[in-house]
Amino acid sequence: MEACQSLVGMVPTAVQKLGRVREVEQVARGTYRVRVECPELARQIIPGQFFMVRDPRVTDPLLGRPFALLDTYEDSVGQPAGIDFGFVTVGKMTNLMAQWSVGDPVELWGPLGNGFPVPDSRRLFLVAGGIGQTPFRAVAREALKLHSFGRNVTQPPSGVTLCYGARTKEHLAFLDWFQLPNLNVQISTDDGSFGRKGYVSQLLDAAYETDAPPEAIYCCGPEPMMAAVAKVAAQRGTPCWLSLETPMACGFGICFSCVTRVRMDDGSWDYRRTCVEGPIFEAEKLCL
Protein backbone atom coordinates (compact mmCIF):
# COMPACT_ATOMS: atom_id res chain seq x y z
CA MET A 1 0.00 0.00 0.00
CA GLU A 2 1.13 3.54 -0.69
CA ALA A 3 1.15 6.34 1.87
CA CYS A 4 -2.27 7.69 2.77
CA GLN A 5 -3.47 10.93 1.27
CA SER A 6 -3.84 13.77 3.76
CA LEU A 7 -6.96 13.03 5.83
CA VAL A 8 -8.74 15.21 8.34
CA GLY A 9 -7.11 14.87 11.76
CA MET A 10 -4.24 12.64 10.69
CA VAL A 11 -0.65 13.39 11.61
CA PRO A 12 0.91 14.72 8.35
CA THR A 13 3.51 11.94 8.33
CA ALA A 14 0.99 9.13 8.85
CA VAL A 15 1.21 6.25 6.42
CA GLN A 16 -0.87 3.20 5.64
CA LYS A 17 1.31 0.17 5.09
CA LEU A 18 1.21 -3.58 4.94
CA GLY A 19 3.79 -4.89 7.41
CA ARG A 20 4.91 -8.41 8.30
CA VAL A 21 5.03 -10.11 11.67
CA ARG A 22 8.61 -10.79 12.77
CA GLU A 23 8.07 -12.00 16.34
CA VAL A 24 5.18 -12.95 18.64
CA GLU A 25 5.98 -13.51 22.31
CA GLN A 26 3.83 -14.14 25.36
CA VAL A 27 5.27 -11.95 28.12
CA ALA A 28 2.79 -12.40 30.98
CA ARG A 29 -0.60 -13.88 31.73
CA GLY A 30 -2.76 -13.02 28.71
CA THR A 31 -0.19 -10.44 27.54
CA TYR A 32 1.79 -10.53 24.29
CA ARG A 33 4.43 -8.62 22.40
CA VAL A 34 4.33 -8.39 18.61
CA ARG A 35 7.14 -7.13 16.39
CA VAL A 36 6.12 -5.89 12.94
CA GLU A 37 8.44 -4.91 10.12
CA CYS A 38 7.44 -1.44 8.91
CA PRO A 39 10.36 0.98 8.36
CA GLU A 40 8.18 3.91 7.31
CA LEU A 41 6.27 3.90 10.59
CA ALA A 42 9.40 3.29 12.68
CA ARG A 43 11.05 6.39 11.18
CA GLN A 44 8.17 8.68 12.14
CA ILE A 45 6.57 7.59 15.40
CA ILE A 46 7.37 9.20 18.76
CA PRO A 47 6.71 7.99 22.35
CA GLY A 48 3.04 8.15 23.28
CA GLN A 49 1.71 8.01 19.75
CA PHE A 50 -0.29 5.03 18.54
CA PHE A 51 -1.19 3.22 15.33
CA MET A 52 -4.23 1.31 14.12
CA VAL A 53 -3.84 -2.41 13.42
CA ARG A 54 -5.98 -4.88 11.53
CA ASP A 55 -5.59 -8.28 9.95
CA PRO A 56 -6.17 -7.87 6.19
CA ARG A 57 -7.09 -11.53 5.81
CA VAL A 58 -10.31 -11.28 7.83
CA THR A 59 -13.48 -9.18 7.81
CA ASP A 60 -14.51 -10.06 11.37
CA PRO A 61 -13.40 -7.91 13.03
CA LEU A 62 -13.51 -5.44 10.16
CA LEU A 63 -12.14 -2.32 11.84
CA GLY A 64 -8.63 -1.81 13.15
CA ARG A 65 -7.69 -1.47 16.80
CA PRO A 66 -5.40 1.15 18.40
CA PHE A 67 -2.08 0.14 19.99
CA ALA A 68 0.56 2.34 21.57
CA LEU A 69 4.19 2.17 20.57
CA LEU A 70 6.27 -0.01 22.89
CA ASP A 71 9.48 0.71 20.99
CA THR A 72 11.08 0.71 17.57
CA TYR A 73 13.82 -1.65 16.49
CA GLU A 74 16.70 -1.33 14.02
CA ASP A 75 18.04 -3.53 11.25
CA SER A 76 21.58 -4.89 11.00
CA VAL A 77 22.98 -1.53 9.86
CA GLY A 78 21.21 0.52 12.52
CA GLN A 79 18.32 1.85 10.42
CA PRO A 80 14.71 1.90 11.72
CA ALA A 81 13.12 -1.37 10.68
CA GLY A 82 9.83 -1.69 12.54
CA ILE A 83 7.85 -1.45 15.74
CA ASP A 84 7.05 -3.45 18.84
CA PHE A 85 3.72 -3.24 20.63
CA GLY A 86 2.05 -5.08 23.46
CA PHE A 87 -1.51 -6.11 24.17
CA VAL A 88 -3.75 -8.09 26.50
CA THR A 89 -6.15 -10.66 25.05
CA VAL A 90 -9.58 -9.23 25.84
CA GLY A 91 -11.64 -9.71 22.68
CA LYS A 92 -11.91 -11.17 19.21
CA MET A 93 -9.14 -9.09 17.62
CA THR A 94 -6.53 -9.53 20.34
CA ASN A 95 -7.21 -13.26 20.61
CA LEU A 96 -6.68 -13.50 16.86
CA MET A 97 -3.44 -11.52 17.13
CA ALA A 98 -2.11 -13.88 19.79
CA GLN A 99 -2.19 -16.61 17.12
CA TRP A 100 -0.20 -14.69 14.53
CA SER A 101 2.90 -16.31 13.07
CA VAL A 102 6.10 -14.97 11.58
CA GLY A 103 5.43 -13.64 8.08
CA ASP A 104 1.71 -12.96 8.58
CA PRO A 105 0.53 -9.68 7.03
CA VAL A 106 -0.52 -6.78 9.26
CA GLU A 107 -2.25 -3.65 8.04
CA LEU A 108 -1.00 -0.56 9.88
CA TRP A 109 -1.69 3.14 9.75
CA GLY A 110 0.02 5.81 11.79
CA PRO A 111 1.64 7.48 13.58
CA LEU A 112 -1.51 8.88 15.16
CA GLY A 113 -2.16 11.13 18.13
CA ASN A 114 -0.01 13.76 19.80
CA GLY A 115 2.56 11.83 21.88
CA PHE A 116 4.00 12.76 25.28
CA PRO A 117 5.75 16.12 25.73
CA VAL A 118 9.51 16.15 25.21
CA PRO A 119 11.04 15.33 28.64
CA ASP A 120 12.90 18.20 30.30
CA SER A 121 15.14 18.55 33.35
CA ARG A 122 12.52 17.61 35.93
CA ARG A 123 12.36 14.43 37.96
CA LEU A 124 10.06 12.49 35.71
CA PHE A 125 7.75 9.78 37.06
CA LEU A 126 6.07 7.31 34.71
CA VAL A 127 3.03 5.77 36.39
CA ALA A 128 1.47 2.70 34.79
CA GLY A 129 -1.27 0.23 35.59
CA GLY A 130 -2.35 -2.90 33.71
CA ILE A 131 -1.04 -2.69 30.13
CA GLY A 132 -0.39 1.04 30.63
CA GLN A 133 3.34 0.49 30.95
CA THR A 134 3.55 -0.14 27.20
CA PRO A 135 4.33 3.43 26.01
CA PHE A 136 6.87 4.05 28.77
CA ARG A 137 9.68 1.91 27.35
CA ALA A 138 10.10 4.42 24.52
CA VAL A 139 9.48 7.39 26.84
CA ALA A 140 12.20 6.20 29.22
CA ARG A 141 14.72 5.51 26.48
CA GLU A 142 14.19 8.97 25.04
CA ALA A 143 14.32 10.71 28.43
CA LEU A 144 17.53 8.90 29.37
CA LYS A 145 19.02 9.73 25.95
CA LEU A 146 19.42 6.05 25.12
CA HIS A 147 17.57 6.50 21.83
CA SER A 148 16.44 9.40 19.66
CA PHE A 149 12.99 9.57 18.12
CA GLY A 150 13.84 12.66 16.12
CA ARG A 151 13.18 15.04 19.00
CA ASN A 152 15.80 17.05 20.84
CA VAL A 153 15.95 16.34 24.58
CA THR A 154 18.26 19.21 25.46
CA GLN A 155 18.29 18.63 29.22
CA PRO A 156 17.40 15.05 30.16
CA PRO A 157 15.56 14.60 33.45
CA SER A 158 17.83 14.37 36.47
CA GLY A 159 15.93 11.22 37.47
CA VAL A 160 13.40 8.93 35.77
CA THR A 161 11.23 6.54 37.78
CA LEU A 162 8.71 3.97 36.58
CA CYS A 163 5.94 3.11 39.06
CA TYR A 164 4.16 0.07 37.69
CA GLY A 165 1.21 -1.74 39.24
CA ALA A 166 -0.64 -4.93 38.28
CA ARG A 167 -3.15 -7.29 39.85
CA THR A 168 -0.68 -10.10 40.56
CA LYS A 169 2.89 -11.16 39.79
CA GLU A 170 1.53 -13.20 36.85
CA HIS A 171 0.21 -10.03 35.21
CA LEU A 172 3.47 -8.07 35.33
CA ALA A 173 4.78 -7.66 31.78
CA PHE A 174 7.94 -6.28 30.14
CA LEU A 175 9.93 -6.01 33.36
CA ASP A 176 13.05 -7.07 31.47
CA TRP A 177 12.42 -4.36 28.90
CA PHE A 178 12.62 -1.77 31.66
CA GLN A 179 16.05 -2.84 32.89
CA LEU A 180 17.56 0.35 31.51
CA PRO A 181 20.57 2.29 32.81
CA ASN A 182 19.53 4.92 35.37
CA LEU A 183 15.85 3.98 35.30
CA ASN A 184 14.43 3.46 38.79
CA VAL A 185 11.64 0.85 38.72
CA GLN A 186 9.12 0.46 41.54
CA ILE A 187 6.50 -2.29 41.46
CA SER A 188 3.21 -2.85 43.27
CA THR A 189 0.67 -5.66 43.04
CA ASP A 190 -2.85 -5.68 44.40
CA ASP A 191 -2.29 -8.95 46.26
CA GLY A 192 1.32 -8.34 47.34
CA SER A 193 2.69 -11.26 45.29
CA PHE A 194 5.48 -9.00 43.97
CA GLY A 195 6.77 -5.64 45.09
CA ARG A 196 4.70 -3.49 47.42
CA LYS A 197 1.17 -4.60 48.24
CA GLY A 198 -1.39 -2.04 47.15
CA TYR A 199 -2.15 0.28 44.31
CA VAL A 200 0.36 2.04 42.08
CA SER A 201 -1.05 5.41 43.15
CA GLN A 202 0.22 4.59 46.64
CA LEU A 203 3.75 4.18 45.25
CA LEU A 204 3.45 7.65 43.76
CA ASP A 205 2.09 9.13 46.98
CA ALA A 206 5.00 7.63 48.95
CA ALA A 207 7.51 9.20 46.56
CA TYR A 208 6.54 12.64 47.82
CA GLU A 209 7.88 11.73 51.25
CA THR A 210 11.38 11.20 49.86
CA ASP A 211 14.07 13.77 49.08
CA ALA A 212 13.46 13.34 45.33
CA PRO A 213 9.69 13.77 44.76
CA PRO A 214 8.13 13.88 41.29
CA GLU A 215 8.29 17.15 39.37
CA ALA A 216 6.37 15.83 36.35
CA ILE A 217 4.16 12.78 35.88
CA TYR A 218 3.21 10.83 32.77
CA CYS A 219 0.46 8.27 33.41
CA CYS A 220 -1.30 5.51 31.47
CA GLY A 221 -3.63 2.71 32.54
CA PRO A 222 -7.18 1.99 33.67
CA GLU A 223 -9.29 5.11 34.12
CA PRO A 224 -9.87 4.70 37.90
CA MET A 225 -6.10 4.41 38.42
CA MET A 226 -5.44 7.49 36.31
CA ALA A 227 -8.09 9.41 38.25
CA ALA A 228 -6.30 8.49 41.49
CA VAL A 229 -2.93 9.57 40.07
CA ALA A 230 -4.42 12.84 38.79
CA LYS A 231 -5.81 13.51 42.27
CA VAL A 232 -2.40 12.96 43.89
CA ALA A 233 -0.76 15.22 41.30
CA ALA A 234 -3.35 17.97 41.82
CA GLN A 235 -2.97 17.85 45.59
CA ARG A 236 0.80 18.17 45.25
CA GLY A 237 0.75 20.75 42.46
CA THR A 238 2.67 18.50 40.05
CA PRO A 239 2.15 18.79 36.28
CA CYS A 240 0.60 15.55 35.05
CA TRP A 241 -0.26 14.17 31.62
CA LEU A 242 -2.61 11.22 31.09
CA SER A 243 -2.67 8.89 28.10
CA LEU A 244 -6.25 7.74 27.57
CA GLU A 245 -7.06 4.19 26.51
CA THR A 246 -10.35 5.14 24.86
CA PRO A 247 -11.79 2.62 22.34
CA MET A 248 -11.57 3.93 18.77
CA ALA A 249 -13.10 2.97 15.44
CA CYS A 250 -11.13 5.00 12.89
CA GLY A 251 -8.12 6.50 14.69
CA PHE A 252 -8.02 9.77 12.75
CA GLY A 253 -11.03 11.79 13.85
CA ILE A 254 -13.78 10.99 11.38
CA CYS A 255 -16.11 8.76 13.42
CA PHE A 256 -16.17 10.78 16.69
CA SER A 257 -16.52 7.56 18.69
CA CYS A 258 -13.66 8.39 21.07
CA VAL A 259 -14.60 11.83 22.36
CA THR A 260 -13.68 12.76 25.91
CA ARG A 261 -14.86 15.64 28.09
CA VAL A 262 -12.26 18.41 28.39
CA ARG A 263 -12.21 21.54 30.54
CA MET A 264 -11.81 24.76 28.54
CA ASP A 265 -9.82 27.83 29.58
CA ASP A 266 -12.99 29.68 30.64
CA GLY A 267 -14.04 26.83 32.94
CA SER A 268 -16.70 25.40 30.64
CA TRP A 269 -16.64 21.86 29.22
CA ASP A 270 -16.38 20.67 25.65
CA TYR A 271 -15.55 17.41 23.88
CA ARG A 272 -12.34 16.48 22.10
CA ARG A 273 -11.39 13.46 20.00
CA THR A 274 -8.94 11.23 21.86
CA CYS A 275 -7.38 10.04 18.60
CA VAL A 276 -6.58 13.55 17.30
CA GLU A 277 -6.35 16.01 20.19
CA GLY A 278 -5.06 13.18 22.39
CA PRO A 279 -4.53 10.48 23.41
CA ILE A 280 -2.44 12.51 25.89
CA PHE A 281 -4.07 15.34 27.81
CA GLU A 282 -3.11 17.48 30.77
CA ALA A 283 -4.73 15.82 33.79
CA GLU A 284 -6.24 19.05 35.08
CA LYS A 285 -8.26 19.41 31.87
CA LEU A 286 -9.96 16.01 32.02
CA CYS A 287 -13.09 14.86 33.81
CA LEU A 288 -12.36 11.30 35.01
Query: According to the model, what pLDDT value does residue 5 have?
Result: 43
Statement to judge: residues 20 and 107 lie in one domain: yes
Same domain flag for 195 and 226: yes
Give the pLDDT confidence of 118-146 residue by residue, as tens digits: 988 789 999 999 999 999 999 999 999 99
Is 150 found in the same domain as 129? yes
Does residue 175 sit in the same domain as residue 210? yes
Lowest mean pLDDT among 67-71, 118-122, 143-147, 266-270: 118-122
Last residue of a domain, one of 72, 88, 112: 112
Instruction: From 112, 139, 168, give the residue that closes a domain.
Output: 112
Q: What is the pLDDT of residue 9?
A: 53
pLDDT confidence band for 25 (50 / 70 / 90): very high
pLDDT band (50, 70, 90) for residue 4: very low
- Both 94 and 135 in a single domain? no
- Asked if 272 and 129 sit in the same domain, the reply is yes
Whichever domain contains 49, its CATH number is 2.40.30.10
Whether residue 7 lies inside any domain: the answer is no
Whether residues 177 and 238 fall in one domain: yes
* Within a domain: 3: no
DSSP structure class, residue 182: T
Same-domain status, 25 and 63: yes
* Domain count along the chain: 2
Residue 10's pLDDT is what?
Answer: 62
| Calpha distance 220→231 (Å, rounded) | 14
- Are the C-beta atoms of 241 and 116 separated by less than 8 Å? yes
- Looking at the predicted structure, is the pLDDT value of residue 184 above 60? yes
pLDDT of residue 164: 98
The span from the CA of 286 to the CA of 93, in Å, is: 29
Q: Is the CB of residue 245 less than 8 Å from the CB of residue 220? A: yes
Asked if 202 and 248 sit in the same domain, the reply is yes
Cβ-in-10-Å burial (0-12, 13-18, 19+) of 118 comes to middle
Give the count of alpha carbons within 13 A of 223, CB side only. Answer: 9
Same domain, 108 and 138: no
Q: Tell whether 263 and 185 lie within a shared domain.
A: yes
Task: Give the model's confidence band at 242: pLDDT under 50 very low, under 70 low, under 90 confident, else very high.
Answer: very high
The answer, yes or no, to whether residue 6 has pLDDT greater than 60, is no
Q: Can you give the residue range of the structural domain that contains 62?
A: 15-112
9 within domain boundaries:
no
| Residues 210 and 108 grouped into a single domain | no
207: domain CATH number is 3.40.50.80
Domain boundary among 112, 131, 153: 112
pLDDT at 262: 94
